[in-house]
Protein backbone atom coordinates (compact mmCIF):
# COMPACT_ATOMS: atom_id res chain seq x y z
CA UNK A 1 0.00 0.00 0.00
CA UNK A 2 1.09 3.55 -0.73
CA UNK A 3 2.52 5.26 2.39
CA UNK A 4 2.52 2.09 4.51
CA UNK A 5 5.84 2.96 6.17
CA UNK A 6 4.79 6.55 6.86
CA UNK A 7 1.41 5.52 8.28
CA UNK A 8 3.07 2.92 10.50
CA UNK A 9 5.44 5.61 11.80
CA UNK A 10 2.57 8.03 12.44
CA UNK A 11 0.72 5.29 14.33
CA UNK A 12 3.81 4.54 16.40
CA UNK A 13 3.62 8.09 17.80
CA UNK A 14 0.05 7.74 19.05
CA UNK A 15 1.21 7.03 22.60
CA UNK A 16 3.02 10.40 22.57
CA UNK A 17 0.16 12.36 21.05
CA UNK A 18 -0.17 14.86 23.93
CA UNK A 19 3.46 16.00 23.89
CA UNK A 20 4.05 19.63 22.96
CA UNK A 21 7.35 21.45 22.43
CA UNK A 22 6.64 25.10 21.59
CA UNK A 23 10.26 25.65 20.55
CA UNK A 24 9.53 23.38 17.59
CA UNK A 25 5.79 23.79 16.91
CA UNK A 26 2.73 25.54 18.28
CA UNK A 27 0.92 22.23 18.02
CA UNK A 28 1.26 18.91 19.85
CA UNK A 29 2.14 15.58 18.22
CA UNK A 30 -1.56 14.68 17.89
CA UNK A 31 -2.19 17.74 15.72
CA UNK A 32 0.57 16.73 13.28
CA UNK A 33 -0.79 13.19 13.08
CA UNK A 34 -4.34 14.47 12.58
CA UNK A 35 -3.24 17.04 9.99
CA UNK A 36 -1.28 14.46 8.00
CA UNK A 37 -4.25 12.11 7.95
CA UNK A 38 -6.67 14.90 7.00
CA UNK A 39 -4.43 15.86 4.07
CA UNK A 40 -4.24 12.27 2.84
CA UNK A 41 -8.02 11.85 3.23
CA UNK A 42 -8.77 15.13 1.47
CA UNK A 43 -6.45 14.40 -1.43
CA UNK A 44 -7.87 10.89 -1.86
CA UNK A 45 -11.37 12.43 -1.96
CA UNK A 46 -10.25 15.01 -4.52
CA UNK A 47 -8.69 12.33 -6.73
CA UNK A 48 -11.85 10.23 -6.55
CA UNK A 49 -14.12 13.14 -7.45
CA UNK A 50 -11.95 14.76 -10.10
CA UNK A 51 -12.79 14.64 -13.79
CA UNK A 52 -9.77 13.17 -15.63
CA UNK A 53 -10.85 15.06 -18.78
CA UNK A 54 -10.10 18.32 -16.92
CA UNK A 55 -6.49 17.37 -16.17
CA UNK A 56 -3.80 19.11 -18.13
CA UNK A 57 -0.15 19.09 -17.23
CA UNK A 58 1.41 22.53 -16.92
CA UNK A 59 4.98 23.45 -16.17
CA UNK A 60 5.37 24.50 -12.54
CA UNK A 61 8.91 25.20 -11.37
CA UNK A 62 8.02 24.89 -7.67
CA UNK A 63 6.35 21.53 -8.24
CA UNK A 64 9.25 20.27 -10.32
CA UNK A 65 11.86 21.45 -7.82
CA UNK A 66 10.25 20.34 -4.56
CA UNK A 67 8.87 17.02 -5.85
CA UNK A 68 12.31 16.47 -7.36
CA UNK A 69 14.18 16.94 -4.08
CA UNK A 70 11.36 15.39 -2.03
CA UNK A 71 11.42 18.03 0.68
CA UNK A 72 10.06 21.48 1.46
CA UNK A 73 10.94 24.01 4.18
CA UNK A 74 8.94 24.56 7.33
CA UNK A 75 6.58 27.46 7.77
CA UNK A 76 6.51 28.64 4.16
CA UNK A 77 3.02 27.46 3.17
CA UNK A 78 -0.12 27.60 5.30
CA UNK A 79 -2.53 24.69 5.18
CA UNK A 80 -6.06 25.35 3.89
CA UNK A 81 -8.63 25.80 6.66
CA UNK A 82 -10.49 22.66 5.56
CA UNK A 83 -7.64 20.48 6.83
CA UNK A 84 -6.84 22.43 9.97
CA UNK A 85 -8.10 21.04 13.26
CA UNK A 86 -8.45 23.59 16.05
CA UNK A 87 -10.40 21.28 18.34
CA UNK A 88 -9.00 18.82 20.83
CA UNK A 89 -7.99 15.60 19.16
CA UNK A 90 -9.57 12.39 20.37
CA UNK A 91 -7.54 9.15 20.18
CA UNK A 92 -10.53 7.11 18.95
CA UNK A 93 -11.22 9.64 16.19
CA UNK A 94 -7.59 9.39 15.08
CA UNK A 95 -7.81 5.59 14.99
CA UNK A 96 -10.97 5.84 12.86
CA UNK A 97 -9.21 8.32 10.55
CA UNK A 98 -6.26 5.91 10.16
CA UNK A 99 -8.71 3.19 9.08
CA UNK A 100 -10.46 5.50 6.60
CA UNK A 101 -7.15 6.71 5.12
CA UNK A 102 -5.77 3.19 4.67
CA UNK A 103 -8.92 2.16 2.82
CA UNK A 104 -8.79 5.18 0.53
CA UNK A 105 -5.07 4.80 -0.20
CA UNK A 106 -5.60 1.20 -1.24
CA UNK A 107 -7.96 2.46 -3.98
CA UNK A 108 -5.65 5.07 -5.55
CA UNK A 109 -4.01 2.65 -7.99
CA UNK A 110 -7.40 1.70 -9.47
CA UNK A 111 -8.25 5.32 -10.36
CA UNK A 112 -7.76 6.63 -13.91
CA UNK A 113 -4.25 7.96 -14.59
CA UNK A 114 -5.43 11.55 -15.11
CA UNK A 115 -7.37 11.87 -11.87
CA UNK A 116 -5.90 14.80 -9.98
CA UNK A 117 -6.06 17.21 -7.09
CA UNK A 118 -5.20 20.89 -7.07
CA UNK A 119 -2.41 21.97 -4.72
CA UNK A 120 -2.34 25.70 -3.84
CA UNK A 121 1.34 26.05 -4.85
CA UNK A 122 2.07 23.11 -7.16
CA UNK A 123 -1.13 23.25 -9.22
CA UNK A 124 -2.68 20.05 -10.55
CA UNK A 125 -0.99 16.83 -9.41
CA UNK A 126 -2.12 13.65 -11.15
CA UNK A 127 -2.44 10.14 -9.75
CA UNK A 128 1.23 9.35 -10.48
CA UNK A 129 2.50 12.50 -8.72
CA UNK A 130 0.19 12.18 -5.73
CA UNK A 131 2.01 9.43 -3.77
CA UNK A 132 5.29 11.37 -4.00
CA UNK A 133 3.59 14.50 -2.69
CA UNK A 134 1.80 12.60 0.09
CA UNK A 135 5.05 10.93 1.12
CA UNK A 136 6.86 14.28 1.10
CA UNK A 137 4.12 16.01 3.12
CA UNK A 138 3.79 13.18 5.65
CA UNK A 139 7.57 12.98 6.13
CA UNK A 140 7.61 16.76 6.63
CA UNK A 141 5.28 16.32 9.61
CA UNK A 142 7.09 13.21 10.85
CA UNK A 143 10.29 15.30 11.04
CA UNK A 144 8.44 17.91 13.07
CA UNK A 145 7.11 15.17 15.37
CA UNK A 146 10.64 13.78 15.83
CA UNK A 147 11.89 17.27 16.71
CA UNK A 148 9.03 17.78 19.18
CA UNK A 149 10.00 14.50 20.88
CA UNK A 150 13.73 15.31 21.18
Sequence-distant (≥ 6) Cβ neighbours of residue 69 within 8 angstroms? none
The model's pTM is 0.93
Can you tell me the distance from the alpha carbon of 18 to that of 7, in angstroms, rounded to the nearest whole number? 18
In words, the CATH class of domain 4-13+24-149 is mainly alpha
Ranking 7-16, 38-47, 72-81 by mean pLDDT, the lowest is 72-81
Does residue 85 register a pLDDT over 80? no
CB 41 within 8 Å of CB 98: no
- Mapping DSSP to helix (H, G, I), strand (E, B) and coil, where does residue 117 land? strand
Mean pLDDT of the chain: 94
- Burial (CB count <10 Å: 0-12, 13-18, 19+), residue 136: middle
pLDDT digits (tens, 9 = 90+) for 11-27: 999 999 999 999 999 99
Amino acid sequence: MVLQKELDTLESHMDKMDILNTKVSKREVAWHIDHSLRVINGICNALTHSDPAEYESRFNLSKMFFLGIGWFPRGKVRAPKAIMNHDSIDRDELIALFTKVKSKLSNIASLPVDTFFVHPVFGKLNRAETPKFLRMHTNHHLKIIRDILK
